[in-house]
């Protein structure tokens, strides 16, 4: 017996040839034997209900013990409405056999839901942790972080997302210290309602260890259900030359953090050496491994444009926290279009490149780098089960 379950394209089926293979594979069940598809007022032997009497292929002979794909609708029906074809068996109830009732089919309704980018998102809270290597080789990089940190926070504020920012670095005004000014920080480097500094010195090789040892302080500023993001800034990689235990490898850190409640889908971004940066202590292979494991981005510590680095990180965070929740749970999501504001033309966007659907929160998310301008209409097309057989 051959069974065809549809995903996006209906599996076609002519009348079974006696082998149980059904028929050809195309955009719908097609007429057999020269029937031109326009003659839909009488039943054709094609696995469809051409005369719309809710019976498929009545009066059609068949070979006993064979089966065919079927659907209780005409061949002209929109293929997207055929979520899943059914199956009917050939019985010995007639001289030449007869097809049983078509069962197992699913018919869908096509739903379109419209959103406006920048206005109608559901915003998931995000808690961001930045860890900065404060060793002697990091003076230029620390200065670049200081210069760009408030621009980074302004980008997040302007996006409308709900964020907390946690900085893991020793507080102070010296070359290697971190004092975050207003508006992200408070007066005299103080914490605020959305900013917290974990005041601890971080050196070349112990960033991950420091996070592990201070996890209670870090998590005390996080919200339940938030997206958790770690940003590592270092020109070195975790090592333990002296055997003191103050270094934690990327794999060990992943084993530690991934089982903690709330960190199941965390993201690790790396701004680290890649083995080619002048003056770097070591390539940050452990950090880049964590980024690859969690879908984070990787930026070079010796980048000439730190503003672009911070913009890339901010864009990635924004794209992960702006969710477009569907009104109903779909059978599947079949398309997303941007509407050109000038012409009104719908421009289809590629799933997996520009957007995807997450069944866990029944939401569509746009990918980093593919968000349209504010005010652009987004139309999501999806299918829901309407009838079953």
pLDDT digits (tens, 9 = 90+) for 27-55: 344 443 334 444 445 888 999 998 889 89
Output the pLDDT for position 47: 94
For 79-235, strand residue ranges (E) read 82-84, 86-91, 98-99, 106-116, 122-123, 126-132, 163-168, 195-198, 227-234
| Secondary structure string (H, E, C) spanning 170-182 | CECCCCCCECCCC
Single out the residue of 237, 235, 247, 277 nearest to residue 138, CA to CA.
Answer: 235
- Start-to-end CA span in the chain (Å): 18
Q: Domain map of the chain by residue range?
A: 1-104, 112-119+323-388, 123-321
CATH architecture of 123-321: 3-Layer(aba) Sandwich (3.40)
pLDDT value of position 2: 33
β-pairing verdict for 126-132 and 163-168 = parallel
- A 10 A CB-CB count for 229 gives 24
d(CA 305, CA 311): 10
Upstream peptide bond of 350 is cis (omega within 30 degrees of 0): no
Tell me the helix, strand and coil percentages in the chain, rounded to 5: 20, 25, 55
Rounded Cα distance between 389 and 369, Å, is: 43
Segment 184-207 shows an average pLDDT of 93
- List the single range of 90-94, 97-101, 155-159, 206-210 with lowest mean pLDDT: 90-94
Nearest C-alpha neighbor of 381 from the set 360, 361, 355:
355
Residue 279 has pLDDT above 90, yes or no: no
Angstrom distance (rounded) from CA 276 to CA 282: 9
Q: What is the pLDDT of residue 205?
A: 87
CA proximity to 135, closest of 217, 205, 45, 197: 205
- Interval 129-154 mean pLDDT: 92
Percent of the chain exceeding pLDDT 70 equals 87
Tokens linked to 42: 């009488």
DSSP 8-class letter at 48: B
Provide the pLDDT for residue 4.
Answer: 32
Q: What is the pLDDT of residues 290-317, one digit of tens each?
A: 999 999 999 999 988 999 999 889 888 8
According to DSSP H, which parts of the chain are helical? 139-159, 207-213, 215-219, 250-257, 285-294, 306-321
Across 14-28, 31-45, 49-63, 212-226, the highest mean pLDDT is recorded for 212-226
In degrees and rounded to multiples of 5, residue 356 shows phi and psi of -155, 170
Mean pLDDT of the chain: 85
**Average pLDDT of span 67-95:** 88
Give the pair of three-digit tokens for residue 6: 């549809």
pLDDT at 360: 79
């Amino acid at each position: 017996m051959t069974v065809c379950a549809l995903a996006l394209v209906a599996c076609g089926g002519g009348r079974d040839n006696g082998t149980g293979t059904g028929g050809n594979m195309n955009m719908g069940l097609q007429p057999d034997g020269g029937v031109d598809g326009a003659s839909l007022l009488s039943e054709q032997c094609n696995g469809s209900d051409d005369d719309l009497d809710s019976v498929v292929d009545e009066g059609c002979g068949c070979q006993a013990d064979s089966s065919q794909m079927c659907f209780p609708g005409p061949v002209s029906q929109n293929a997207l409405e055929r979520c899943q074809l059914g199956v009917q068996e050939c019985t010995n109830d007639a001289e030449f056999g007869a097809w049983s009732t078509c069962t197992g089919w699913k018919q869908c309704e096509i739903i379109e839901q419209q959103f406006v980018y920048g206005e109608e998102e559901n915003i998931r809270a995000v808690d961001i942790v930045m860890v900065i290597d404060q060793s002697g080789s990091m003076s230029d990089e620390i200065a670049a972080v200081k210069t760009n940190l408030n621009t980074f926070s302004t980008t997040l504020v302007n996006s409308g997302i709900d964020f907390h920012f946690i900085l893991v670095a020793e507080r102070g005004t010296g070359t290697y210290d971190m004092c975050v000014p207003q508006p992200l920080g408070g007066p005299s480097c103080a914490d605020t309602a959305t900013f917290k500094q974990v005041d601890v010195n971080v050196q070349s090789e112990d960033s991950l260890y420091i996070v592990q040892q201070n996890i209670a302080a870090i998590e005390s500023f996080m919200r339940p259900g938030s997206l958790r993001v770690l940003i590592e800034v270092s020109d070195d990689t975790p090592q333990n030359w002296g055997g003191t235990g103050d270094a934690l490898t990327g794999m060990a850190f992943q084993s530690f953090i991934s089982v903690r409640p709330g960190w199941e889908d965390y993201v690790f971004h790396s701004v680290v050496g890649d083995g080619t940066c002048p003056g770097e202590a070591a390539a940050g292979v452990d950090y880049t491994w964590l980024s690859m494991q969690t879908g984070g981005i990787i930026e070079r510590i010796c980048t000439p444009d730190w503003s672009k680095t911070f913009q890339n990180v901010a864009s990635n965070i924004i794209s992960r926290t702006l969710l477009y929740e569907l009104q109903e749970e779909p059978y599947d999501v079949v398309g997303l279009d941007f509407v050109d504001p000038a012409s009104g033309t719908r421009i289809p966007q590629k799933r997996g490149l520009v957007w995807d659907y997450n069944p866990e929160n029944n939401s569509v998310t746009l990918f980093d780098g593919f968000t349209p301008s504010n005010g652009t209409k987004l139309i999501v097309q999806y299918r829901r089960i309407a009838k079953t057989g």
